[in-house]
């Protein structure tokens, strides 16, 4: 007998609830007026009274109700969440959909027990992540959008976890939960449901080696504008994967649109269950859903990397542009004179000196950083092709022993994304490290943390990709063995100060270097240069050519390709806190990190030396410290780039109207 799959529909208003239930949805997901990922319109989402009413409406009709609590939350919001969680504990929805690990901690504190589903924003893309979430009481995971049906089948076989999969609607180009562009530039975070969609901007392509534009056909203007997903043609394949729940996207959609989508998928599923052997897709159903589509359709990553076929280059079907390119704020002499980041100095004479950490992309850079005064060096993780690419076991051995002999900590980073075969490579890396005994391992995702916990006498660090912005999630990660976390790059200075001062976990601050705005499995080199993907035969033009995306304001967003062909798209401005270190040190930063993986060896030493000098001056005599403008001028000569504030100046904050 064929196992039936749940058809899960989005609900933003009461009329939508009635419509999708009438058309045959098995379950619905909806959110409150706050603490969820769809907050752009006040006429959508539900009051507590309406949520209770919705549960009472759906349950007698055999329809489950899942509550979205799927955004990242600040400490103040966590406190305000408590009465809402108590309310949900009483009305008993069928599950909560969460992104923030801190919610698990708060629920334990309150004694609220409800089934938990891990949001797609948790970026669940490997087996170890699922196992860690299962330990924390999660009963279902919504898979990252980059997971194929074949990978999903394997994950189900190995974990037994309920798996949910997006089958229709608006998708993201970026790896789930790992897009920081909107948060850093606009202060509107994709991790908090307020994305301004810079991936939908118009871009030109720039050759960084030749310093010239690369020709594109006239219809190729929106180079990152991913199409909508439609899996109507693949009902048997979905059933074969073992996916238990088929998720339709669109909590901001109207009743007319969603009732049509649910009706067509319901009809297809019922026909399949009646006769799996004789099932074929009804072309009339596809024509109806295609004629009323928003964007053009793609099956995206369900079967393979879709490459250029997944992009709506012309932009002609884009329903709404949430933003257009804006000039990123550059640091000026006036900003330096005004010292725009003011941290409170707790001691009159001296105070604890944070470590100076440098992340490098090659052995030569590591040596230069150590010579220039780094206390800690990060090696490993994603290696950019432009920097030579790849850390061999011999490189790791040399680096760890070089640092150990000079009293410098050497921490081995893991990639932010470890999917499929990359998990086995990570296991092999950790086996090497078990014997090598570096100072620490910095984990880039929860699966890496799950695997790295077995290491004995090696400290565990959490990278910013863990998306910690409150004390509760920090506390849970501490219980899981993490010694130090990294401040998430899209929150502003004040929120960072609050977190560092209120958490009992030390935090590292990103202080200098290019900032990754997006990480994506869509390869721009292959798509635009050859009309292909990593899954096809590729000439690896990324080994010879370095490219940038040029926005409509004339700003370059450099693109780096790592050893797994993922593209890392950067902000136009590099981060530089050199003139403002006193504020961050006074605020309690335990470590300051220079992200220098893309820097040449001859740049790494002098830049590290400049930061070493400032740290020593500040911690030696904080009351009399003054930043000297000549040091800023020297920095700009050492590495020619435009420098900005990252998210610290304008980044995400608590918004009154979010409350």
Are residue 355 and residue 249 in the same domain, yes or no? no
Give the long-range contacts of residues 267-271, CB within 8 A, separation 24 or more.
268/232, 268/235, 269/4, 269/5, 269/7, 269/235, 270/24
For residue 658, pLDDT beyond 90: no
| Euclidean distance between CA atoms 211 and 335, whole angstroms | 30
179 lies in some domain: no
When comparing pLDDT for 408 and 40, which is higher?
A: 408
State the pLDDT at residue 636. 96
CA distance 581 to 590: 12
Give CA–CA dist 358/595, Å, rounded. Answer: 6
pLDDT-based confidence at residue 263 (cuts at 50, 70, 90): very high
Q: Are 282 and 377 in a shared domain?
A: no
What pLDDT was estimated at residue 39?
A: 56
Helix axes 471-479, 493-502, angle to 10 degrees: 50
Which tokens is 544 given? 């010879």
- 23 and 144 inside one domain: yes
pLDDT in the model for residue 249: 96
Residue 572 tokens read as: 């136009």
pLDDT at 346: 47
Percent of the chain with pLDDT over 90: 89
**Best CA proximity match to 543, nearest among 306, 654, 385:** 385
Is residue 657 pLDDT above 50, yes or no?
no
**Judgement on whether residues 442 and 347 belong to the same structural domain of the protein:** yes
Q: pTM for this structure?
A: 0.96
- What's the rounded Cα separation, in Å, for the pair 365 and 358? 9
Query: Residue 649: which pLDDT band, with cuts at 50, 70 and 90?
Result: very high
What is the reported pLDDT for 344? 57
pLDDT tens by residue, 400-412: 999 999 999 999 9
Cβ–Cβ contacts within 10 Å for residue 284, how many?
A: 9
How are strands ordered across the β-sheet holding 556-561? 212-214, 203-207, 547-551, 556-561, 567-570, 516-520
Pairing of strands 482-486, 64-69: unpaired
* Predicted local distance difference test score (pLDDT) of residue 445: 98
Structure tokens at 251: 């909590």
| Cα(144)–Cα(164) distance, integer angstroms | 10
Residue 550 DSSP SS3: strand
Residues 236 and 137 in one domain: yes
What pLDDT is attached to residue 659?
36
Q: Is residue 500 part of a domain?
A: yes
- Within 8 A by CB and 6+ apart from 449, the residues are 132, 443, 460, 462, 466, 477, 480, 481, 482
Given 294, 312, 327, which residue is the final one in a domain? Answer: 294
- Scored b (16 or more CB within 10 A) or e, 34-71 reads bbbbbbeeeebbbeeebbbebbebbeeeebbbbbbbbb
* Residue 39 and residue 147 share a domain: yes
d(CA 129, CA 151): 14
Identify whether residues 362 and 482 lie together within a single domain. Answer: yes
Counts for the chain of helices (H) and strands (E), in that order:
21, 26
The strand pairing partners of 559, in sequence order, are 547, 569
Nearest to 453 by CA among 495, 491, 484, 482: 482
Q: Is the pLDDT of residue 345 over 90?
A: no
* Position 615 pLDDT exceeds 70: yes
Assess whether pLDDT exceeds 50 at residue 206: yes
Residue 43: what pLDDT? 74
User: Per the structure, how many domains does the chain have?
Assistant: 2
Rounded to the nearest 5°, which phi and psi values hold at 579? -75, -10
pLDDT in tens, 436-475: 999 999 999 999 999 999 999 999 999 999 999 999 999 9
In a domain, 143, yes or no: yes
Are residues 266 and 350 both part of a single domain? no
Look at residue 352 in the predicted model and tell me its pLDDT.
Answer: 66
- Check which CATH number belongs to the domain holding 485 and give it: 3.20.20.70
Q: Is 152 a residue whose pLDDT tops 50? A: yes
Domain termination residue (choose one: 259, 279, 294): 294
Picking from 305, 324, 327, the residue whose alpha carbon sits closest to that of residue 200 is 324
Instruction: Compute CA 402 distance to the chain's CA centroid, rounded to the nearest angstrom.
Output: 33
- Do 28 and 149 have their domain in common? yes
Residue 578 vs residues 60, 267, 593, 613: alpha-carbon distances, Å: 62, 61, 11, 10
* Domain finish residue from 277, 294, 311: 294
Mean pLDDT value across residues 94-123: 97
Give the Cα separation of 324 and 198 in Å (integer). Answer: 7
Domain boundaries, position 158: 6-169+228-294
- What is the residue whose two structure tokens read 């370059």? 556
Same domain, 409 and 485: yes
DSSP designation for 462: E
Q: Name the token pair of 208.
A: 């960084």
Residue 387 sits in the same domain as residue 456: yes
| Residue 326, domain member (yes or no) | no
Q: Is the pLDDT of residue 226 over 80?
A: yes
Residue 526 is assigned to a structural domain of this protein: no
Q: Span 349-361, mean pLDDT?
A: 82
Tens of pLDDT, residues 272-329 = 999 999 999 999 999 999 999 999 999 999 999 999 999 999 999 999 999 999 999 9
Q: Could you tell me if residue 283 is inside a domain?
A: yes
Mean pLDDT, residues 571-593: 96
Q: Is residue 335 part of a domain?
A: no
CA 496, CA 489: separation in Å to the nearest integer?
A: 9
Q: With beta carbons less than 8 A apart as the criterion, state whether 533 and 545 touch.
A: no
**For residues 193 and 657, what is the distance between their CA atoms, to the nearest angstrom?**
13
Same domain, 361 and 282: no
Q: Which residues contact 15 (CB under 8 A, 6 or more apart)?
A: 255
Question: What average pLDDT score do residues 61-75 get?
Answer: 96
**Least trusted range by pLDDT, from 113-127, 185-199, 472-486, 529-543:** 529-543
On whether residue 194 sits in a domain, the answer given is: no
Mean pLDDT of the chain: 94
Residue 41: pLDDT band with limits 50, 70, 90 = low
Task: Return the closest-CA partner of residue 76 out of 590, 507, 494.
Answer: 494
pLDDT of residue 34: 81
The pLDDT value recorded for residue 436 is 97
């Amino acid at each position: 007998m064929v196992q039936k799959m749940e058809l899960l529909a989005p609900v933003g208003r009461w009329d939508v609830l009635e419509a999708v239930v009438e058309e045959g949805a098995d379950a619905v997901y909806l959110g409150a007026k706050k603490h969820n990922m769809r907050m752009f319109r006040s006429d959508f989402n539900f009051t507590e009274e309406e949520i209770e009413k919705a549960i009472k409406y759906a349950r007698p009709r055999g329809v489950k109700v899942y509550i979205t609590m799927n955004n990242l939350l600040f400490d103040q919001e966590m406190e305000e969440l408590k009465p809402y969680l108590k309310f949900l504990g009483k009305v008993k929805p069928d599950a909560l959909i969460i992104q923030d690990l801190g919610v698990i901690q708060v629920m334990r504190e309150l004694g609220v027990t409800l089934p938990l589903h891990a949001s797609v924003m948790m970026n669940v893309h490997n087996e170890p992540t699922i196992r860690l979430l299962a330990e924390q009481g999660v009963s279902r995971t919504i898979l990252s959008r980059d997971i194929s049906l074949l990978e999903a089948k394997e994950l189900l076989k190995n974990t037994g976890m309920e798996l949910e999969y997006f089958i229709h609607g608006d998708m993201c180009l970026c790896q789930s939960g790992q897009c920081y562009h909107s948060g850093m530039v606009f202060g509107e975070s994709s991790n908090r449901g307020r994305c301004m969609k810079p991936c939908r901007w118009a871009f030109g392509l720039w050759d960084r080696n030749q310093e010239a534009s690369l020709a594109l056909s006239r219809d190729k203007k929106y180079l990152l504008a991913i199409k909508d997903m439609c899996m109507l043609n693949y009902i048997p394949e979905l059933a074969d994967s073992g996916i238990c729940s088929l998720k339709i996207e669109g909590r901001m959609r109207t009743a007319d649109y969603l009732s049509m989508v649910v009706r067509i998928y319901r009809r297809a599923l019922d026909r399949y269950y009646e006769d799996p052997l004789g099932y074929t897709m009804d072309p009339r159903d596809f024509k109806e859903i295609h004629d009323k589509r928003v964007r053009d359709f793609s099956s995206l990553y369900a079967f393979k990397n879709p490459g250029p076929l997944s992009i709506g280059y012309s932009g002609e079907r884009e329903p709404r542009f949430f933003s257009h390119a804006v000039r990123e704020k550059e640091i000026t002499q006036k900003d330096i004179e005004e010292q725009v980041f003011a941290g409170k100095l707790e001691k009159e004479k001296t105070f604890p000196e944070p470590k100076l950490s440098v992340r490098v992309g090659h052995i030569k850079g590591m040596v230069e950083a150590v010579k220039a005064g780094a206390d800690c060096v990060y090696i490993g993780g994603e290696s950019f092709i432009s920097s030579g690419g790849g850390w061999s076991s011999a490189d790791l051995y040399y680096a760890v022993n070089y640092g150990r002999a000079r009293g410098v900590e050497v921490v081995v980073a893991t990639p932010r994304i470890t999917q499929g075969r990359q998990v086995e490579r990570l296991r092999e890396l950790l086996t090497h490290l078990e014997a090598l005994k570096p100072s620490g391992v910095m984990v880039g995702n929860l699966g890496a943390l799950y695997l790295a916990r077995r290491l004995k006498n090696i400290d565990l660090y959490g990278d910013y990709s863990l998306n910690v912005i409150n004390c509760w999630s920090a506390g849970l990660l501490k219980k899981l063995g993490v010694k130090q976390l990294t401040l998430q790059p899209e929150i502003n200075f004040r929120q960072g100060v609050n977190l560092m001062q209120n958490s009992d976990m030390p935090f590292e601050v990103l202080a200098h270097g290019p900032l990754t705005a997006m990480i994506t499995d869509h390869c721009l080199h292959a798509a635009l240069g050859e009309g292909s993907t990593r899954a096809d035969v590729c000439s690896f033009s990324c080994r010879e050519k370095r490219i940038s995306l040029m926005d409509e304001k004339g700003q370059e967003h450099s693109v780096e390709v790592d050893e797994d062909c993922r593209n890392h798209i950067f902000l136009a401005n590099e981060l530089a806190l050199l003139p403002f270190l006193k504020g961050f040190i006074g605020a309690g930063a335990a470590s300051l990190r220079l992200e220098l993986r893309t820097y040449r060896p001859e740049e790494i030493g002098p830049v590290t030396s400049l930061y070493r000098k400032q740290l020593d001056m500040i911690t030696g005599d904080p009351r009399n410290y003054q930043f000297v403008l000549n040091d800023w001028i020297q920095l700009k000569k050492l590495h020619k780039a435009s420098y900005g504030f990252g998210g610290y100046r304008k980044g995400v904050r608590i918004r009154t109207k979010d409350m």
